[in-house]
Amino acid sequence: MPSNDTRKSVAVVGSLNFDLVCVLDRLPGLGETLTARSHVTAFGGKGANQAVAAARLGASVRMIGAVGSDSTGEAMRRNLEDNGVDASGLLVAEGPSGVAMISIDANGDNTIVVYPGANAALGPDWVRANARAIEDGDCLMLQLETPLESALEAARIAGRAGVPVLLNPAPARALPDELLRLCSAVTPNETELAILSGVPGIEDGARALLAKGVGAVVVTLGSAGCLYVDEVGTFTVPSYRIDAVDATAAGDSFNGALATRLGSGRVTPEDLAFCNAAGAIAATRLGAQPSIPTISEVDQFMALRRP
Ligand code: RIB
């Protein structure tokens, strides 16, 4: 039966973590023990965060990933469902779910250590078994916290079905040209861009990725906004001034927002202003998924604020 759902349909292949967060005055040095000001736990993982972001920003979202056979895995599944994400593409892998230990300093900057747990069990076979979720979507969203072969397999499926692929190359690593060729857009920060392209300089790095077949590069620049580069040209979109509390999931909110805007046409400055606003709001709140805004929060923020 044809669906009346006019929302953008996004498939996410990626990670789910349980985040243990400590808020500190400053980050510890090597061998140093510090006492945290406060501590929270939150659902996280780049894949799950981006799935929740796209859902809160109005998309219909399906998640393909892996959780552990522990109670955290079941809680992760319920959490996705509570956020309106279709979690039927979650594999239950024997063993623990993924965890992340996150330290936040007084500027809202963070360091993150991830133990992949079940995320490491997300293989290309499981992605193939869930190919329909990708083929039926308007966009496939990928990150690099799960095995690379799975991301590549998902991108191949999307490529054959003509579905645009959005890759957030985090955590950064060198990537096969085949994966880059399959990407409609990639969204590195400056550090990730340097690792990915091997070329110094933001615009030169972005152009090196275009030369490898990426459709468009959106370089996230933190408080400076973002830079868009494709074969047609380049533009910068400034961000919003905020008092940052925690940068965790700001990038994921940006990416989730972009997945709701990516289509056959070129991404516009207005689209990227929307993404910047989603990321800026997330940075004003503590925790990964608790910080991700809804579409009405972004609309309200943009109506009241100027970059
Ligand atoms: O992008 C933020 C996320 O990175 C956190 O939620 C943490 O789980 C790590 O995956």
Contact yes or no for 205/213 (Cβ under 8 A): no
Calpha distance 65→76 (Å, rounded): 11
Alpha-helix runs per DSSP H in the chain: 46-56, 71-82, 124-129, 131-135, 148-161, 177-181, 190-197, 202-211, 250-261, 269-283, 295-304
CA 233 / ligand 1 centre spacing (Å)? 32
Residue 110 in any domain: the answer is no
CA 118 / ligand 1 centre spacing (Å)? 15
Domain count, the chain: 1
Task: Give 162's contacts (C-beta < 8 A, 6+ positions apart).
Answer: none
Residue 39 in any domain: the answer is no
Residue 108 in any domain: the answer is no
Q: In the chain, helix, strand, coil percent, each to 5?
A: 40, 25, 35
Residue 102 in any domain: the answer is no
Nearest to 250 by CA among 39, 46, 101: 46
Residue 70 in any domain: the answer is yes
Contact yes or no for 147/123 (Cβ under 8 A): yes
Calpha distance 92→94 (Å, rounded): 7
The catalytically annotated residue of 25, 252, 271, 299 is 252
Residue 257 in any domain: the answer is yes
Q: Is the CB of 45 inside a 6 Å radius of any atom of ligand 1? A: yes
CA 45 / ligand 1 centre spacing (Å)? 4
pLDDT at 6: 76
Task: Give 26's contacts (C-beta < 8 A, 6+ positions apart).
Answer: 34, 105, 106
Q: Specify the pairing of strand 185-186 against strand 38-44.
A: unpaired
Residue 224 in any domain: the answer is yes
- Nearest ligand 1 atom to the CA of 44 is 6
Q: pLDDT digit of tens for each residue in the chain (307 aa)?
A: 445 567 899 999 999 999 999 999 999 999 999 999 999 999 999 999 999 999 999 999 999 999 999 999 999 999 999 999 999 999 999 999 999 999 999 999 999 999 999 999 999 999 999 999 999 999 999 999 999 999 999 999 999 999 999 999 999 999 999 999 999 999 999 999 999 999 999 999 999 999 999 999 999 999 899 999 999 999 999 999 999 999 999 999 999 999 999 987 899 999 999 999 999 999 999 999 999 999 999 999 999 987 7
CA 124 / ligand 1 centre spacing (Å)? 22
- Nearest ligand 1 atom to the CA of 289 is 6
286-307 in b/e form (b: 16+ CB < 10 A) is bbbbbbbbebeebeebbeeeee
Task: Work out the burial of residue 84: count CB atoms within 10 Å of its CB; fewer than 13 is exposed, 13-18 middle, 19 or more buried.
Answer: middle
Catalytic (active site) residue 136: no
pTM: 0.96
Task: Work out the burial of residue 214: count CB atoms within 10 Å of its CB; fewer than 13 is exposed, 13-18 middle, 19 or more buried.
Answer: buried
Residue 103 in any domain: the answer is no
CATH number assigned to the domain comprising residue 197: 3.40.1190.20
Tokens of 9: 């349909």
Contact yes or no for 252/235 (Cβ under 8 A): no
Q: Is the CB of 46 inside a 6 Å radius of any atom of ligand 1? A: yes
Q: Which residues span the domain enclosing 164? A: 9-15+46-90+120-304
Side chain identity at residue 24, one-letter code: L
The residue whose CB lies within 8 Å of the most ligand 1 atoms, and thus the one to mutate among 17, 254, 292, is 17
Task: Work out the burial of residue 6: count CB atoms within 10 Å of its CB; fewer than 13 is exposed, 13-18 middle, 19 or more buried.
Answer: exposed
| CA dihedral sign, ordered 271, 274, 276, 278 | negative
